Structure formats: C-alpha cells, structure tokens
Homo-oligomer: A and B are copies of this chain.
Amino acid sequence: VAGEGGARTAPAADQQPASTVIAVDCNGADLGPAEVAAGARIAAEQGTRTILFGPAQQLGEASDAIQIVDAPLSIAKSSDPARAVRASPDSSIVQAARAVGEGRAGALVCAGGTGAALAAGLFNIKRTRGVYRPALALPLPVPGRTVTLLDVGANVEARREHLVQFAFMGAALVRTVFGVPRPRVALLSNGEEDVRGSPLVVEVHGELRRRTSTPIEAFEFVGNLEGHGLMAGAADVVVTDGFTGNVALKLMEGVSQTTLSAVREAAMSSPRARLGGALLRGALRGFREQVDPERQGGAYLLGLRRLGVVPHGRFTRTGFAQAILRAERGAREDLVGHTHEALLAAGALREAPMSAPVASLRARE
C-alpha cells in the first residue's frame, strides 16, 4: 500500500519541541463521533489536550483542554483511502493529519481506519528521515502481557532493510509508550531454529544477529518465534512483513472469536449449562478484561514524523481515551526521536537520497 514513492521524505521535525496536543479525527467510529469526543473528555481529565475534527454539533462543548474544528466530511468508509485523501482535503482525517504535519499537534489519533490514517499520514505528516516504510504495529491482547506485532498491514511487501527497521521502530514504541525498558524482539517464523524461515526471514535474522552481536540498548534480539511462543509472551515485539502480519492477525481474531462464541453458545444450550455459564461469568471477566483490545488503544502507525494511533472503529469511549493518552505519551516521550537515534546508532537508517551535509557527516564517521 505504502510505496516509497507515495510521499517524499520530509526533514525531521525533531529539532523543534514537539507539541503534546493530540489531533483526533472523530469520524468513523461505530458508535459515532460523540463517542470519540467522550473519550477525549476522559483523557482531558488526565490533563491531555486535544483538537477534535468532526461534525461540530456532535462533539459537544469546547474547553481549555478540547478544541473543536468543524469537519463533517468523512472518508472513513472509502474503499480507496489514498484517492479519497487526495480528493478530500477538507475531510476530518486530512485536516487532523495536517494539524500534526504543521506542528499544531504532536500526534494523530484516527478512528476512521488504518487505510485512511496511513494515506493521510504519508501525505501530510510524511515519513521520518531515513525510514524506508511506515509500519502498523498492533499490541496483541495476550493473557497477562502485551506482545506487539508489526507490520500488520501498512505494506504488502517487505525487503530485508524494511524488516530490520521495523525491529527498531517496534522496540522504540514498546519502550516509550508501553514502558518496557529493553524489549525482547523476535521474528515471526515457521520454526524457532535460526535457520528456519522464508529466505527473507533468514536474511533478516542474520542481519539482526549481526547488529546485536554486541548487545545494543534499543532491544534484545531473541531469534525466531512461532505461534505458541508468541501466545506465551516469549517476546515483547514480533516482526513480520505486512502480508503475513495481517493474515496472522485476522486468523487470531477469527479463532479467538469463534472459540469464545462456542463457549457462549454451549452456555446457552440447556438450563444446566445456562446455570453453569452464569456461575462462571464472574471468573471469566478477568480474562475478558485482560484480552480487551481497548486497553492498548489500538494500532500504532510508526515511521512518520509523528506518531499515529488508530483505535478500532468498534471501540467505546474507554478505548478512544486510551488511544489519546498513548498518543500523548508517545509525543511527550519523543518516540519518533528515540526511534531515529536508535536507527542512527545501529547504522540502519536509509542512506540514499542524502543531502550534502548528511553525506559529509557520514564521510567523517
């Protein structure tokens, strides 16, 4: 989806102090823009300021913490988000992304889907200097812990150097936004042995081994991981290409929903089972809360000059509040700056095209 030609790389905005106001596109939520605005109010109680973009009459009152921009035009349901973004500069997502791109906000939250967020982000926030491709990272609701999988669909194809960068990008997210000091990073593969994997995975494995042969601060590379290891939380960050990641994610969702609805159905199948289900309900609540995707705020759009967070359209205000709070933490902790530093230290930044001063700087290294 996101080709390198999709947007020119903009100079990093790392120099200027980043705003911690969050631009929020309120269109696209299943429960309507008012539910997103309600999430912003929850976040405001914790001191987070937002600019809400959406139909003003549904977004409630503005306040010191909440600025409202009337932007009723939604492209959240578009089947071709990239074209919709180009054709609709007044749409709420484009206005929100522009606010971030122009520095009026420090991060983007978009309830209108990953496709729209990615397209609007590439055109208006632009890629970080030295990053090949943006990636979508999703914290998976694994019982008892968080495992962040990336890329889950920003790109359908990936080369070695893309996946190597994803490792750094994912690790920086998990450090700054989820607070894991030195994340364990793994590659998703069809076997745990170092030699297992597609040719691409074997290549990336070798390169990550080489780059971490002297331990680096950014993360610990723990090798290949399969499904069981992922579900057991054997890594904090799991790297894969966007095709495999997206397929995997949707299968996991499918299995999880099918299993839980089969349990629910069984618990309705007879008076005896119904009683059993009622007695069990309280005990299952803890599990359901642990695996509730709203807790992690949604998917994270990495590799742009500012962080994007894409809560799922079916979230409630709780999830939208989480997305806004996480976005604010990413802006405040300078996720993008930390990612850039780690990539620079590892020599994993994209080298061409280089501007003259950068080239001369590198020549001195």
Contacts and interface: CB of A to CB of B under 8 A. Distances in A.
A253 interface: yes
3 closest residue pairs by CB, A with B: A276-B279, A227-B250, A276-B280
B244 A231 contact: no
A62 interface: no
Contacts of A281: 276
Contact of A263 (B196, B257, B287): B287
Interface in A217-269: 226-228, 230-232, 240, 242-244, 246-260, 262-263, 265-267, 269
B254 A283 contact: no
Interface in A271-304: 272-273, 275-284, 286-287, 291
A258 B156 contact: no
A217 B35 CA distance: 51
Interface of A: 79, 142-143, 153, 156-157, 188-191, 193, 196-199, 201, 226-228, 230-232, 240, 242-244, 246-260, 262-263, 265-267, 269-270, 272-273, 275-284, 286-287, 291
Most buried by B among A230, A244, A249, A269: A244
A262 B231 contact: no
A30 B199 CA distance: 32
B247 A227 contact: yes
Contacts of A276: 275-281, 283
A162 B220 CA distance: 37
B251 A227 contact: yes
Tell me the number of copies of this protein: 2
A191 B249 CA distance: 12
Given A226-B250, A251-B251, A258 B231 contact: yes
A279 B284 contact: no
B254 A280 contact: no
Nearest to A231: B254
Contacts of A256: 255, 259
A242 B196 CA distance: 12
A333 B246 CA distance: 38
Contact of A279 (B231, B258, B273, B286): B273
A227 B255 contact: yes
Contacts of A277: 276, 280
Contacts of A258: 142-143, 231
Contacts of A230: 251, 254
A191 B246 CA distance: 9
A249 B266 CA distance: 25
A246 B279 contact: no
A266 B284 contact: yes
15 contacts: A79-B193, A190-B242, A198-B243, A226-B251, A227-B249, A228-B254, A244-B247, A251-B251, A259-B259, A266-B286, A266-B287, A272-B282, A275-B276, A276-B277, A280-B280
A130 B130 CA distance: 47
Given A254-B228, A256-B255, A258-B143, A188 B247 contact: yes
Nearest to A261: B143
A231 B247 CA distance: 13
B266 A190 contact: no
A197 B247 CA distance: 10
A246 B280 contact: no
